[in-house]
Amino acid sequence: AVAIGNAHGFYKGDPKLDFERLATIRNRVSVPLVLHGGSGITERDFKKVVSLGICKINIYTEMSAAAFAAVAKATSDTNFTRDYPTLLSFVRDKVKNVVEKKMQIFGSSGKGA
């Protein structure tokens, strides 16, 4: 995992990624590169880091926030079916939406086995 201005959790401001450092790292190593702390990075910056060799991006905080928001919505909605399997399915769909959007940005949609 590279350290180029990225951080875990939501950013308090706009992240300023060091693309030059990433390019230098990519040129010096032959292993797949990972970006931790991807939640909150712009689409433009994601595309740039992928073009510079990032192969895996962690977006746990965004997925977690989507799950939490889904639980909050479901539990405050009096019309929501009150059973655990329905809640799990609802939450999973909201997290899946986040992941699908990110996969499109990263250029990884349709590349799985």
SS3 category, 34: strand
pLDDT at site 31: 95
- Is the pLDDT reported for residue 14 higher than 90? no
Per DSSP, what are the bridge partners of residue 33? 54
Which two three-digit tokens encode residue 15?
């992240």
Percent of the chain exceeding pLDDT 70 equals 99
Q: Cα separations (Å) of 41 from 21, 24, 25, 47, 51?
A: 17, 20, 20, 10, 15
pLDDT at site 51: 96
Q: Of the candidates 103, 9, 112, 111, which has an alpha carbon nearest to the alpha carbon of residue 57?
A: 103
User: Do 52 and 44 touch, CB atoms closer than 8 A?
Assistant: no
Of the pLDDT bands very low, low, confident and very high (cuts 50, 70, 90), residue 113 is: low
Q: What is the pTM of this model?
A: 0.86
